[in-house]
Amino acid sequence: MFSSVAKAAKLLSLGEPVFIHDSSSREDEVDMVYHASFIDQRRISLLRRIAGGLICYSMPKNIGEALGLKYMSDILRASGYAELASRTLRYGDPPNFSLWVNHINVSTGIRDSDRALTIKELDKVVEMVVEGRVAEAKEKFYREFVAPGHVPILLGRGLNVRRGHTELSLALAELAGLRPSVVIAEVLDVGSAMAVSKVREVADKLGSVVVESDEIIKEWLGRNLC
């Protein structure tokens, strides 16, 4: 395994943040990433203050489908908003957004403690699906969550289909031997995405690493084409 990918995988498995740069030819953004099993209000606060972008929960498409989840663009098309849902941003990929949810036990939904609770419970749902307890996972999801809410669920399409931060972070979790359940947020600066060089300085201060998309893709393809 390449050194930066190995370090990122190790950090992810220890509950530490890692940083993933997609590519200069795509969004040219860096996302701050945690494995969802370690999320608590302190880590949500760090995502909010250090990264500053939208805090999203990511699971693979097949797990979302097992729960009955659909892409929001498909929901909107079926609801009469096809004109809006048919457009994509300039990097061209279809959006991964599904439902936005809150756990039923949150206060307002947006507080650090609230989003941490929602994400922790979503991670438990994914754990159940991974373990083959799909009916139990669906029952928990539809009993304990409210939509719309403050935590967007992203459904990763897989690196063979799409190479955005959702897919890259889920691939890194796979390489780390962790279940596919991650939290991501764009690292922003005043008026724009934070430059990769500046993110590297932030990562160094945190004892973390910025890993490039091509490094993750090469390692993941090497594992999955064997």
Among all residues, which ones are annotated catalytic? 31, 56, 91, 102, 150, 186
Residue 58 β-bridge partners: 154, 182
Which two tokens mark 225?
A: 């084409």
Task: Look at residues 199, 210, 153, 203 and name the one whose alpha carbon lies nearest to residue 180.
Answer: 153
d(CA 202, CA 208): 8
Cis peptide before 152 (omega within 30 of 0): no
- By residue count, the chain amounts to 226
Q: Which amino acid is at 132?
A: G
Task: Look at residues 36, 42, 41, 46 and name the one whose alpha carbon lies nearest to residue 15.
Answer: 36
d(CA 209, CA 194): 15
Q: Within its chain, how far is the Cα of 47 from the centroid?
A: 12
Helices (H), the chain: 3-13, 41-46, 61-66, 72-78, 82-85, 112-130, 134-144, 165-175, 196-205, 213-224
